[in-house]
Amino acid sequence: MGRYNSYPNGESANTTDLPEKSKEREYFYRMLVGKSAAQINAYWARLLFTGKSEPPLTVRSSADVIALVKDNKNAIAYINEADLVDGLKVVYRFDDSQ
């Protein structure tokens, strides 16, 4: 959400987003901050306009996310757990059973 742009070791974090209309993007932001994709777009527009931060890079698909994360040690992203493949490290899972 733009608050942190680097990892604790000081290296830059390269964030990635799925397409605006994807169900995974909607789910991710609902679970992360309780906001819709439209509300998130407005949030990023404000931050971009004020020069405080830039939104994550948007890619076309989960396959593109996977390729980007595998090829970039500083990349971090979200995908559906069903798309998880070897070579990716899970750092957080949402518990939506509540």
Q: Is 61 helix (H, G, I), strand (E, B) or coil?
A: coil
Report the C-alpha gap between 70 and 55 in whole angstroms. 21
In the structure, what pLDDT confidence band is assigned to residue 97 with cuts at 50, 70 and 90? low
For 90-95, the CB contacts below 8 A with 24+ separation are 94/28, 94/31, 94/32
pTM equals 0.84
Please write the tens of the pLDDT for every residue from 34-65. 999 889 889 989 988 888 788 889 999 999 99
Three-class DSSP category at 90: coil
Helix (H) or strand (E) holding 47: helix 37-50
